[in-house]
Structure 1
Amino acid sequence: MTVLITTPFNADSTAADVVAGRDLSGQRAIVTGASSGIGIEIARALASAGAEVTLAVRNTGAGDQVARDIVASTGNSTVRVAHLDLSDLTSVDALVAAWSGPLHILVNNAGVCFPPETHNAQSLETQFAVNHLGHFALTTGLHPALAAAGRARLVTLSSDAHIYGPVDFNDLNFRDRPYNPAVAYGQSKTATALFAVEAQRRWSADGVTANTVHPGPIKTNLDRHLSAETRAALPDFDYRTAEQGAATPTLLATWPDLEGNGGMYFENCNQAVRNEPGQSTGVADHALDPEAAERLWQVSLDLLAAGR
């Protein structure tokens, strides 16, 4: 019987609870999408523990404002802002090229949810392009910096929406099936989970611990694309605060007992149980499938090569 990893924290815990008593002085972190929602609170928690934090954001004006707020609330002046547009590989490559030195924590938090059918410059469906491939490009580009840290943490944001289905390798971009924003979102979040599985397999020898997380239902601007009809059809979630939503990603970035334990999916600050048909919690088998993870890695490399 598999023994799941548990911690003293739960769905009610906050990011501040998770880092209480931790000293991250000398560690350097990047949090993508840190100008709004839980990204702000992940960055704030890391900064409060003494880490040097870079907010990687599309809107650097908003990022600057958040950085000032985090500096004021934590007293940590080493909070920086970098431009990052995950839908644009040129932007991703620019951030990678500008980074120098080790990187101890990378939290791939940014994302897009349920937009109308759109594609990026590579003709890739937007949710797959932003939520997975942009982060894949960023992370593989920063792999030398993660390895240089000696002991690094890679955290990718998934979602319970991964339960909607596996990655459709035969039709990633909905050319042969009707576009469904929920299915596309679920596919992208399955991809982020599989990315952590394969990153752990490939990079654990470099000291990189990679895990993925469902942060829980939080009201943020991530759902700005939802139509009134879609909102009405959603379950009546017990929404959490941004501080609570940031707890599990922050735990994966900092919790000492997770050192070397990767390729897993967490929710509510603990390793998730296996999802059973009809349930909306836990992790589906297809999100941890090692063969699918290895295939996705190669497909992602091929897509990056074609887009550059």
Structure 2
Amino acid sequence: MPTHRPLITTRFDATSTADDVVDGLDLTHVRAIVTGASSGIGLATARSLARAGAEVTLAIRNTDAGAKAAADILASTGNHDVHVAALDLADRASVAGFVQGWDGPLHLLINNAGVITNGLFRNAEGWELQFATNHLGHFALSLGLHDALAAGAAERSEARIVSVSSTAHMRSPIVFDDIHFERREYDPQAAYAQSKTANSLFAVEATRRWAPDGIFTNAVNPGGVATGLQRHFTQKMKDYLDQAEAAGVFSYKSVEQGAATTLVAAVAPEFGHTGGHYLDDAREAHTVPDDAALFGNSHGVKQWALDPDAARHLWAVSLDLTG
């Protein structure tokens, strides 16, 4: 369903960094949570928010790594309002505990954390691990923090959620009749892909439901960034990336450049009071058909990742799974 309105653009592009986006902004009194913020894009996101004066909570599994990241952010920004909290998105009790431990309003929720596996793994509920972590964990977290976000919106006229997706979404829609690979042969690339489609569909439905509360959600594609996620790539995945780079489909960005699109969705005025969009290279992406080849179209968003009917269905399925 291609949009018939002008796409939202900004003065930033693929070469911009997270610090470029927050340059000149005063985020004092803004409270932000960044999941998966101990390294990579999440750390770069948290650092730039802190540099602009925000109070930032690093929500991560490994709190020792989080403490090191927080110390690094303090040393580089001088911001003492950087906190660390334990969060394992694949563990329902951990998500519930994090939510219960949060106090006061929230203005920015950056759902950045993600996993890539090279084989079939399941969490305690038996859910396929990539979908459980990348989508269902963030879904439960966002629902649990809804009231805090609504309180933040009441303070600043809006609150924002950023859902970090990926070009990988182009490989698969949500396979609703077998989300957790209970019957079909397991393909880690397909599993990761549908989890990234889910991240985009979450933005669509969360905005539809929560915009009246002042909460707006957008999905972002960081682009090709070499991070710790790649340590679990299969050889097939690595070969594909080599082919894509050789074909000019993408060139690798720095983590700071990868975080720029996240910051655009989080703080740029162009994305104030509007949601359900998919951003790429610091601006809204164009829509491509579901049957479009990945090569040559890696900077768009497939229709299935913005489909409102699929978004509503996914929300219902996710509610049922997470209780």
5 Å matches for 1:4-153? 4-150=7-153, 151-153=158-160
2:212 maps to what in 1?
205
**Stretch moving more, 110-119 or 240-249:** 110-119
Displacement of 1:229? 4.3
TM-score w.r.t. length of structure 2 = 0.93
DSSP-derived class of the 1:224 partner? helix
Identity %: 54
TM-score w.r.t. length of structure 1 = 0.97
State whether structure 2 residue 253 is matched by structure 1 residue 240: yes
Matched to 1:214, the amino acid is N
DSSP-derived class of the 2:262 partner? helix
Is the 8 Å Cα contact of residues 275 and 281 (structure 1) preserved in structure 2? no
CA-to-aligned-CA distance 1:250-297 (integer Å, 9 cap, x gap) = 111111221111000000000001124122220000000001101111
Is the 8 Å Cα contact of residues 189 and 237 (structure 2) preserved in structure 1? no
1:225 maps to what in 2?
232
Q: Distance in 1 between matches of 2:66 and 2:164?
A: 20
Distance 1:161 1:229, change over 3 A: closer
DSSP-derived class of the 2:177 partner? coil
Q: Distance in 1 between matches of 2:167 and 2:215?
A: 25
Q: Distance in 1 between matches of 2:118 and 2:84?
A: 26
What do you get for the CA RMSD once the two structures are aligned?
1.0
Is the 8 Å Cα contact of residues 114 and 223 (structure 1) preserved in structure 2? no
Is the 8 Å Cα contact of residues 111 and 131 (structure 1) preserved in structure 2? yes
> Would you identify which runs of 4 or more consecutive aligned residues in structure 1 move more than 4 Å?
none
Displacement of 1:233? 3.3
CA-to-aligned-CA distance 1:33-72 (integer Å, 9 cap, x gap) = 0001000000001001100000001110010001011011
1:159 maps to what in 2?
166
CA-to-aligned-CA distance 1:100-148 (integer Å, 9 cap, x gap) = 0000000000001143111111110011000000000101000000000
Displacement of 1:223? 1.2
Displacement of 1:76? 0.7
Is the 8 Å Cα contact of residues 275 and 282 (structure 1) preserved in structure 2? yes
Among 254, 261, 281, the alignment partner of 1:268 is 281
Q: Distance in 1 between matches of 2:240 and 2:151?
A: 47
2:188 maps to what in 1?
181
1:302 maps to what in 2?
320
- Which 5+ residue runs of structure 2 have no aligned equivalent? none
CA-to-aligned-CA distance 1:73-110 (integer Å, 9 cap, x gap) = 11110000000001101000000000000000000000
DSSP-derived class of the 2:85 partner? strand
Q: Distance in 2 between matches of 1:240 and 1:114?
A: 22
CA-to-aligned-CA distance 1:137-182 (integer Å, 9 cap, x gap) = 1010000000001210100000011111210110001112110011
Is the 8 Å Cα contact of residues 118 and 234 (structure 2) preserved in structure 1? no
Distance 1:284 1:233, change over 3 A: closer
Q: Distance in 2 between matches of 1:113 and 1:127?
A: 6
Count of matched residue pairs:
305
Q: Distance in 2 between matches of 1:266 and 1:230?
A: 23
